[in-house]
């Protein structure tokens, strides 16, 4: 047996009585955070501590990627056999009062079994700068048409599977407060968005209507321990968007950022950990299973998240319900996989469910890997006050208010990206 299999088996045997529980207790008291040791991300499973970036990349990084795949998000298949076709269905050179060119691109995914699926990308490219521009890639929750009131934006295809067509969730512009397109475009960034339901509808019984339908060996009803959940599938989708953008003539493929909110922040981190084309990886209020340290057991916990959203992770993650201390890794090691690219974590003061302090500490404890590359992580284990962004080679801010994406968040991300991507050189 391989080392991981033995580890997983040992964990499963030790937690036979634990389980996912929608009513599992939730801790909001800092005094009740259990004492636990923060694993050194540089220490390999066999105890060796890596001392060079070469060792990190050849040994420890692959080891961590395997653990996150096998025990949390599911293993990303090396080859899916899925072919992707792109078709520009609409191109407007003077969208947003001439600020941008708007392209809408239909992706058709076809599996080896002949089944296919369509998704729609909405891409805004600023008109003022000449040449190639950096791009921010970010899924939306309710369809491209909800991110703006622009009338030409085509409604994303897969929504009716999730909620009835009449639902006000799908109304044009309904989520526009979360999309600071004009600010980004004015500052020289392109923005690409797609509805995450197009890649895989977000409900346990709907996986068969997403990318899994194109994989003949995927058994959505009875997944293997380490088989893909939707976070893994959405992360794969982020990489397919990057494939398209790499070929887009106005986009600078060396300056791609991925940004996600909440469950899509978890997804952005897993995508950014795996796909090195994302040079900046931004987690907005991603919480449990995202930036927040699981072992703090503060706010949402593994028992709650796996009970409420069983399809997000691979089944093996369930074994850590009410048993976070058995995890052979923690989320700071997910963040460390982004180095030497730039990780950014943002919290909201009232979003205790996402454990703002745990999100901050996670980025802080990814520091040793940044240091290995001669880069600067967060200098202090003490989180800053609200509205005091900390921008080093990694970035963090906490703002007032609750679980959301606001213009203030975008402003911080753009400030950070200007420096990280050296936009003004
Ligand atoms: C729920 C869930 C969180 C998730 C959030 C979201 O609150 O418990 O883990 O981040 O939904 O995606 O909005």
> Based on the number of CB atoms within 10 Å of its own CB, is 166 exposed (0-12), middle (13-18) or buried (19 or more)?
exposed
What domains are defined for the chain?
Answer: 201-420 (3.40.50.1820)
Nearest CA to ligand 1 atom 8: 305
The catalytic residue among 158, 262, 303, 336 is 262
**Sheet strands (E) in 127-231:** 133-140, 190-195
Give me the chain's average pLDDT, please.
95
Preceding peptide of 340 cis, ω within 30°: yes
Cβ(331) to ligand 1 under 6 A?
no
What's the predicted TM-score (pTM) here? 0.96
Distance 37 CA to ligand 1 centre (A): 26
Q: Residues 258-310: pLDDT tens digits?
A: 999 999 999 999 999 999 999 999 999 999 999 999 999 999 999 999 999 99
For 65-99, what is each residue's pLDDT tens digit?
999 999 999 999 999 999 999 999 999 999 999 99
pLDDT at 403 over 70: yes
How much is the average pLDDT of 22-34? 96
DSSP run (H or E) holding 104: strand 100-110
Q: Is residue 15's pLDDT more than 80?
A: no
Q: Which atom of ligand 1 is nearest to the CA of 285?
A: 10
Closest CA to 155 of 139, 138, 173, 137: 173
Q: Mean of the pLDDT values across residues 376-401?
A: 98
Ligand 1 pocket test, pick from 24, 197, 262 with the greatest ligand atom count within 8 Å of Cβ, gives: 262
Q: Which two tokens stand for residue 87?
A: 């078709």
Residue 403 known to be catalytic? yes
Q: What is the pLDDT of residues 101-140, one digit of tens each?
A: 999 999 999 999 999 999 999 999 999 999 999 999 999 9
Active site residue 397: no
The mean pLDDT value for 196-219 works out to: 94
Reported residue count of the chain is 425
Phi, psi dihedral angles at 172 (to 5 degrees): -50, 130
Whether 153 has a pLDDT exceeding 80, the answer reads yes
The pLDDT value given to residue 127 = 98
Opening angle at CA 106, ends 105 and 112, nearest 5: 140
- Nearest-atom number in ligand 1 for the CA of 308 is 8
> Does the beta carbon of 288 sit less than 6 angstroms from any atom of ligand 1?
yes
Q: Ligand 1 centre and the CA of 262: distance in Å?
A: 6
């Amino acid at each position: 047996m391989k080392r991981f299999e033995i580890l997983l088996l040992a964990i499963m045997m030790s937690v036979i009585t634990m389980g996912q529980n929608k009513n599992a207790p939730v801790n909001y008291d800092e005094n009740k955070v259990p004492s636990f040791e923060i694993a050194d991300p540089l220490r390999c499973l066999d105890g060796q501590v890596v001392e060079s970036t070469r060792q990190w990349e050849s040994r420890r990084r692959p080891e961590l990627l395997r653990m996150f795949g096998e025990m949390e998000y599911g293993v990303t298949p090396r080859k899916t056999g899925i072919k992707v076709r792109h078709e520009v269905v609409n191109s407007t050179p003077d969208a947003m009062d001439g600020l941008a060119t708007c392209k809408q691109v239909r992706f058709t995914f076809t599996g080896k079994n002949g089944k296919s699926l369509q998704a729609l990308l909405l891409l805004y490219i600023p008109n003022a700068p000449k040449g190639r521009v950096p791009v921010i890639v970010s899924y939306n929750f309710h369809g491209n048409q909800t991110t703006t009131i622009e009338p030409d934006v085509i409604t994303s295809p897969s929504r009716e599977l999730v909620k009835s067509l009449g639902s006000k969730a799908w109304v044009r512009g309904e989520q526009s407060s979360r999309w600071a397109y004009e600010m980004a475009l004015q500052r020289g960034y392109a923005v690409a968005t797609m509805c995450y339901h197009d890649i895989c509808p977000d409900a346990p019984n709907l996986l068969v209507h997403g990318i899994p339908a194109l994989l003949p060996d995927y058994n959505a009803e009875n997944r293997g321990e380490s088989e893909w959940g939707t976070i893994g599938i959405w992360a794969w989708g982020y990489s397919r968007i990057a494939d398209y953008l790499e070929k887009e003539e106005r986009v600078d493929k060396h300056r791609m950022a991925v940004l996600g909110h909440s469950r899509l922040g978890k997804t952005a981190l897993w995508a950014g950990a795996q796909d090195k084309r994302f040079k900046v990886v931004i987690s907005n209020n991603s919480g449990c299973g995202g930036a927040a340290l699981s072992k703090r057991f503060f706010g949402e916990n593994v028992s709650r998240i796996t009970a409420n959203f069983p399809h997000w992770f691979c089944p093996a993650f369930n074994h850590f319900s009410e048993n976070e201390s058995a995890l052979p890794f923690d989320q700071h090691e997910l963040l460390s996989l982004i180095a030497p690219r730039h990780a950014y974590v943002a919290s909201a003061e009232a979003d205790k469910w996402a454990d703002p302090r745990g999100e901050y500490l996670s980025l802080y404890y990814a520091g040793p890997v940044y240091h290995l590359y001669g880069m600067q992580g967060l200098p202090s284990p003490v989180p800053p006050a609200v509205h005091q962004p900390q921008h080093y080679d990694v970035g963090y801010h906490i703002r007032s208010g609750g679980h959301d994406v606001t213009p203030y968040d975008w402003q911080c991300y753009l400030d950070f990206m200007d420096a990280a991507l050296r936009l003004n050189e």
